[in-house]
Amino acid sequence: MSEPAFIRPSRRERGWLVGQLRDETVGGGLLLIAATLALVWANSPWADSYAALVALPVGPASVGLQLPLGAWAADGLLSVFFLVVGLELKHELVVGSLSKPSRAVVPIAAALGGMLVPALIFAAVNTSMVGGAPSGWGIPMATDIAFALAVLAVIGRRLPIALRAFLLTLAVVDDLGAITVIAIFYSTHFELAWFTLAIICFIGYALAQRRRLRSAWIYVPLALIAWYAMHESGVHATVAGVVLGLLTRVRSDPGETHPPADRVARRVHPWSAALCVPLFAFFAAGVDLRSIGLVEALTAPVAIGIILGLVVGKPLGIVCTTYLVARFTRASLPKAIRWADIGAVGVLAGIGFTVSLLITELAFPGQPDTVAEAKTAVLAASFLAAVLAAIALRLRRR
């Protein structure tokens, strides 16, 4: 007997899910405003002031942290975002839709397919075209949680709650895959001593969680030292945020109103959605199109690979892997969910804004023109995916 791939979440899970959707919806709107402001400023007569702001060095040079504001946004602010991702993933793994193998297999497979197929499409385009840049294969792999959930919250309110939970789970697993790719393939160098210090901090954090310590004077210094050590090790500093989130306890002890993960998420999630991610978008999305031209940027091999990867590869990978899992395992779709819904979610997952912009900057160091082409393609593909997903969701509502 087949087992439904998506089931109606419990009351506690529904409450948690609604909270995540609410925060990400607001964050998605602010993200769009910040990106639009950056694009307008970067292509205005005052574009030089925008470039100067992004490159403005800030921080103590004595410890190697005098970084441009743009780098602080990518390494610092996004670490908060990935802390939230780690907390969400830990929740899903322990008490959510990934806690049972029969429920976890479908969103995990869908996320993997939605990462692999876009990467293969990008690699095929950029190895076969003159002037291609295959090193950017990781760019179309990621799904932007805030943007995707914002579109879903506005357009897809009547979708089954289980399918909305599926999108959130898929996006979280997708982001974990993206940060793994960043850590392994887009790290510039590796310093074992600093990496060892980061591991020691993680162990200390885990032990403090195990001993049920609650003082911020313990956790905040450990988190900051872990972030700094990861930054100095050569592994991208945002990895520290995911690891800390995964090490945070999500089950309540007897007599405990909320577990640590819920308390941390309530305090950090609003800052991530309303400040950290929009500020990163502001510093990362300001592409000066006057120097390269919009048509030239969108017809470059790297741009074609990104657009095809996000708009075509994402839904193709998600639908195909979901079908294969449903066809060859005991998992099946409940009657309330149709394959058209999975297709719409697949198109929605093609919104790859935040993490795709981050990988763009890591994939092409010292290549400003290629970075500009890739960022332009990410913005165009995310906008196109959002429009197509909105059309598909509206047709579904009818």
Give pLDDT tens digits for 74-120: 889 989 988 988 888 888 788 877 777 767 788 888 889 999 999 99
At residue 226 the predicted structure's pLDDT band, cuts being 50, 70 and 90, is very high
The confidence score (pLDDT) of residue 225 equals 95
Buried b (16+ CB within 10 A) or exposed e, 307-330: bbbbbbbbbbbbbbbbbebbeeee
pLDDT exceeds cutoff 60 at 191? yes
The whole-angstrom separation of Cα 246 and Cα 241 is 9
Comparing CA positions, the residue from 356, 350, 346, 359 lying closest to residue 382 is 350
Query: Can you give the pLDDT at residue 166?
Result: 76
**Mean pLDDT score, 45-62:** 90
Q: Which of 137, 100, 101, 98 is nearest to 117 (CA)?
A: 137
Q: Smallest Cα–Cα separation from 302: which of 113, 120, 117, 137?
A: 137
Pairing of strands 67-68, 57-58: antiparallel
What is the pLDDT averaged over residues 232-243?
A: 89
| pLDDT of the residue at 228 | 95
Among 112-116, 152-156, 351-355, the minimum mean pLDDT is found in 152-156
What was the pLDDT predicted at 216? 87
Q: Is the pLDDT of residue 165 over 60?
A: yes
Residue 365: partners with Cβ closer than 8 Å, 6 or more residues away = 188
For residues 366 and 300, what is the distance between their CA atoms, to the nearest angstrom?
A: 18
pTM of the model: 0.84
**Tell me, what's the pLDDT at 397?**
66
Average pLDDT over residues 276-297: 83
Name the average pLDDT for the chain.
84
DSSP 8-state symbol, 252: P
131 phi/psi in degrees, rounded to 5? 85, 15
Residue 49 pLDDT grade (very low, low, confident, very high; cuts 50, 70, 90):
very high
Q: What is the model's pLDDT at position 6? A: 54
Q: What integer is the mean pLDDT of 65-80? A: 90
265, pLDDT greater than 90? no
Q: Mean of the pLDDT values across residues 305-313?
A: 95
Degrees, nearest 5: CA angle 266-155-298: 95
pLDDT over 70 at 380, yes or no: yes
Tell me what pLDDT residue 390 has: 84
Residue with the bigger pLDDT between 238 and 167: it is 238
What's the pLDDT band for 4 if we cut at 50, 70, 90?
low
Looking at residues 176-200, what average pLDDT do you find?
Answer: 87
pLDDT value of residue 331: 67
More confident residue, 105 or 241: 241
pLDDT at 34 over 80: yes
Burial of 63 (0-12, 13-18, 19+ CB in 10 A): exposed
pLDDT of residue 18: 57
Residues listed for the chain:
398
Q: Specify the pLDDT at position 321.
A: 92
74 in Cβ contact with 179 (< 8 Å): no
Higher confidence at residue 149 or residue 123? Answer: 123
Where do the domains of the chain lie, and which CATH numbers do they carry? 3-186+236-397 (1.20.1530.10)
What integer is the mean pLDDT of 351-376? Answer: 88
Could you please report the per-residue DSSP string of 72-130? Answer: HIIIIIHHHHHHHHHHHHHHHHHTSTTSSHHHHHHHHHHHHHHHHHHHHHHHHHHHHST
